[in-house]
């Protein structure tokens, strides 16, 4: 197949453009459509912008998104100025406290469910999450969450909870990192945890800090002792304390049990 033919069969680039009702936004939409992108144009009320409707009729591949929510969910640590502005503009804003334990996650799920009028669905999801708990086996594998640059998340995050729910023993306290902090190569090699949990995105080397886990010393220790096995888990699935935590736990359990 020729290069041109392969290019024609490739999926179009997907592009999100905010403030699409403004002149610059409209022109960006136009240029991306000309390029062949699938464009998502977001504006407070795009239906009132005739030129966007004209572009959709002319090119296709344009989806209009109205940014006029009935409810805005914000983290309790979100920028106070942004939250205050949204409230002054008349938006209903609910601040959700961050989760660091499974009970915190269950509280957040029920709170959001109540805000959305979906109490029954929230209760079912909370029950599914609660069912993940269980006693830690005496034969549980040692594990450590290692983020870019060698950072080990502490108890103010869901990191320790993720390991416990996956049936793994957290080795961070043994490194003096019970409160979180940066691990060094020497301590990792000497500790020889069975599993190193890392970000799925870091597997592709997004930054120099992601290369910490690829250090030759860690690779040599892994080949020699059969430990320090890297397992990739999507950070977004467990960092925010949502129902996606279950997916992260099941991914980790499956990866650890695989030969």
208 pLDDT higher than 80: no
- Is residue 77 domain-shared with residue 43, that is, in the same domain? no
205 pLDDT higher than 80: no
- Is residue 190 domain-shared with residue 250, that is, in the same domain? yes
Both structure tokens of 64: 């209009």
243 pLDDT higher than 90: no
224 within domain boundaries: yes
- Is residue 45 domain-shared with residue 75, that is, in the same domain? no
Domain count, the chain: 3
- Is residue 94 domain-shared with residue 150, that is, in the same domain? no
75 within domain boundaries: yes
37 within domain boundaries: yes
Tell me which long-range contacts 120-129 makes (C-beta under 8 A, separation of at least 24): 125/243, 128/243, 128/246, 129/102, 129/105, 129/243, 129/245, 129/246
4 within domain boundaries: no
pLDDT tens per residue across span 4-63 = 444 444 568 889 998 899 999 999 999 999 999 999 999 988 888 899 999 999 988 899
Residue 123: CB atoms within 10 A of its CB come to 14
Q: State the average pLDDT for the chain.
A: 87
**Of 213, 194, 193, which is closest to residue 202 (Cα–Cα)?**
213
- Is residue 171 domain-shared with residue 246, that is, in the same domain? yes
- pLDDT band of residue 226 (cuts 50, 70, 90) is confident
- Is residue 154 domain-shared with residue 75, that is, in the same domain? no
- pLDDT band of residue 119 (cuts 50, 70, 90) is very high
- Is residue 91 domain-shared with residue 174, that is, in the same domain? no
- Is residue 42 domain-shared with residue 91, that is, in the same domain? no
pLDDT tens per residue across span 245-255 = 999 999 999 98
2 within domain boundaries: no
- Is residue 152 domain-shared with residue 233, that is, in the same domain? yes
Q: What is the pLDDT of residue 209?
A: 67
What mean pLDDT do residues 218-247 have? 87
Q: What is the pLDDT of residue 236?
A: 81
pLDDT tens per residue across span 138-181 = 889 999 999 888 899 999 999 999 999 999 999 999 999 999 99
- Is residue 74 domain-shared with residue 163, that is, in the same domain? no
* Residue range(s) defining the domain that contains residue 180: 142-257
- Is residue 206 domain-shared with residue 219, that is, in the same domain? yes
Q: What is the pLDDT of residue 201?
A: 66
122 within domain boundaries: no
- Is residue 74 domain-shared with residue 58, that is, in the same domain? no
- pLDDT band of residue 1 (cuts 50, 70, 90) is very low
201 within domain boundaries: yes
pLDDT tens per residue across span 40-51 = 999 988 888 899
CATH number at residue 252: 3.40.50.1980
pLDDT tens per residue across span 85-116 = 889 988 899 999 989 999 999 999 999 999 99
Question: Domain ends where: 66, 86, 109?
Answer: 66
52 within domain boundaries: yes
Q: What is the pLDDT of residue 206?
A: 57
Q: 159-174 burial by CB neighbour count: b if 16+ within 10 A, else e? A: bbbbbbbbbbbbbbee
């Amino acid at each position: 197949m020729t290069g041109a033919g392969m290019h024609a069969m490739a999926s179009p680039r997907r592009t999100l453009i905010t403030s699409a009702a403004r002149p610059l936004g409209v022109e960006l939409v136009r240029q991306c459509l000309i390029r062949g992108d699938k464009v998502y144009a977001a504006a407070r009320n795009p239906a009132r912008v005739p030129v966007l409707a004209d572009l959709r009729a002319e090119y296709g591949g344009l989806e209009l998104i109205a940014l006029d929510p009935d409810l805005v969910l914000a983290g309790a640590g979100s920028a106070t100025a942004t939250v205050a502005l949204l409230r002054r503009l008349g938006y209903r804003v609910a601040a959700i406290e961050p989760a660091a334990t499974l009970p915190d996650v269950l509280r957040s799920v029920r709170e959001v469910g109540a805000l959305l009028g979906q109490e029954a669905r929230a209760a079912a999801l909370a029950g599914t999450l609660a069912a993940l708990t269980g006693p830690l086996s005496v034969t549980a594998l040692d594990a450590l969450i290692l983020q870019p640059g060698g950072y080990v998340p502490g108890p103010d995050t869901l990191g320790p909870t993720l390991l416990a729910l996956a049936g793994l023993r957290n080795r961070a306290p043994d490194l003096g990192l019970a409160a979180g902090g940066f691990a060094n190569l020497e301590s990792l090699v000497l500790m020889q945890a069975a599993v190193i949990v890392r970000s799925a995105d870091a597997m592709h080397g997004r930054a120099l800090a992601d290369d910490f886990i690829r250090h030759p010393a860690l690779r040599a220790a892994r080949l020699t002792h059969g430990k320090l096995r890297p397992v990739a888990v999507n950070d977004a699935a467990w960092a925010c304390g949502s129902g996606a935590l279950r997916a992260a736990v099941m991914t980790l359990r499956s990866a650890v049990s695989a030969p």
